[in-house]
């Protein structure tokens, strides 16, 4: 399996609103990001995702997080979303998203959940919440997973600790509140995006 972006860092824009989304996404793309997740508990998420797909979908993997139900998957497909990120392992959601041609990064915490997600067709896994489990847990879990499966650390990842999770076997990470908090200025997004890209490059060179 392979991850479909150049930079395996997923920008999680939880709480972003449609008027803000375009400028923040452009700032992230300028910094080198090419995977954008707008969680479904954000205001007017369908508007934000639809506009993001139209404006940036050619050059980035645009989609949704906190996807919990099959009807949400179908609505996302209609919007042109190419990425589905779940907080849990729900085989019906994963199967439907895969059937509709989307890339699925499924949330899991245990080996059972991880293999259930893979059996349902998930192309990538996210270990959530990673900070609570720690790099050693992820390293142990990776030992039983197929080596070609991309594993992302999500939850509590910062520019300072990213290297620990990459060393534990993660291909990349999903970046939440340390990258973007609802309402923050563009300058903060640019600053944190640059810090994460720098940290990733330093850890993988």
**How far are the Cα atoms of 12, 24, 121, 132, 204 from residue 102, in angstroms, in the given order?**
17, 23, 11, 29, 27
CB 163 within 8 A of CB 199: yes
Q: Active-site residue numbers?
A: 37, 126
Secondary structure element (H or E) that encloses residue 72, with its range: helix 70-79
- List, in sequence order, every beta strand (DSSP E) within the chain: 9-12, 35-39, 61-65, 83-85, 103-108, 124-127, 151-154, 172-175
- The radius of gyration computed from the CA coordinates of the chain, to the nearest angstrom, equals 16
Q: Which residues pair with 183 in a beta bridge?
A: none
Residue 77 to residue 191: CA distance in whole angstroms = 32
């Amino acid at each position: 399996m392979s991850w479909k972006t150049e930079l395996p860092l997923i920008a999680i824009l939880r709480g972003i609103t449609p008027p803000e989304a375009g400028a923040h996404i452009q700032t992230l793309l300028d910094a080198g990001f090419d995977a954008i997740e707008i969680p479904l508990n954000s205001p007017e998420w369908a508007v934000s995702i639809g506009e993001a797909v139209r404006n940036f979908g050619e050059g980035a993997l645009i989609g949704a997080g906190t996807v919990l139900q099959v009807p949400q998957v179908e609505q996302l497909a209609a919007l042109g979303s190419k990425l589905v990120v779940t907080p849990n392992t729900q085989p019906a959601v994963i199967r439907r998203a895969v059937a509709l041609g989307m890339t699925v990064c499924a949330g899991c915490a245990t080996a059972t959940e991880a293999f259930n997600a893979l059996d349902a067709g998930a192309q990538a896994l996210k270990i959530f919440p990673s900070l609570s489990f720690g790099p050693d847990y992820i390293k142990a879990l990776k030992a039983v997973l197929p080596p070609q499966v991309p594993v992302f650390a999500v939850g509590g990842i910062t520019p300072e600790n990213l290297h620990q999770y990459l060393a534990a076997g993660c291909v990349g990470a999903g970046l939440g509140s340390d990258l973007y908090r609802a309402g923050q200025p563009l300058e903060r997004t640019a600053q944190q995006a640059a810090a994460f890209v720098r940290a990733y490059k330093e850890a993988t060179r």
